Amino acid sequence: MVTKASSPSEDAQWIREELHRWIYGNVKAKWPSVVRQLKSRCAAEQKPSTATRLWQLFSGYQAPRSCIELAALRSELDLHDAYRWDL
């Protein structure tokens, strides 16, 4: 079986898409736990630190907090209502 060789830019695109699927899958799997924690903080009348929780979720990927906050801003997501987001 002969396969067509890919270009470096096609390889880079493929890697980007694979990383996106991997991270999205991990976040989606952990999201119910994030929502539960944020709701329990609200019920306990503690101010939920959504930005901190999201940063913790992405810290394993070495994402700086500023990157998480910028992504939320660009996506027009309210960090104070993250428990209402639907993945």
Give the tens place of pLDDT for each residue, 34-79. Answer: 888 877 766 556 655 677 778 888 888 888 888 888 888 888 877 7
Q: Which two tokens stand for residue 3?
A: 């396969």
The residue type of 48 is P
Per the CB < 8 A criterion, the answer to whether 80 and 48 are in contact is yes
71 or 82: which carries more pLDDT confidence?
A: 71
Helix (H, G, I), strand (E, B), or coil: what is residue 26? helix
For position 47, what pLDDT does the model report? 56
The phi and psi torsions of 2 (rounded to 5 degrees) equal: -105, 130
Alpha carbon distance 57, 34 (integer Å):
8
Q: 67 Cβ partners below 8 Å, 6+ apart?
A: 58
Q: What pTM was estimated for this model as a whole?
A: 0.65
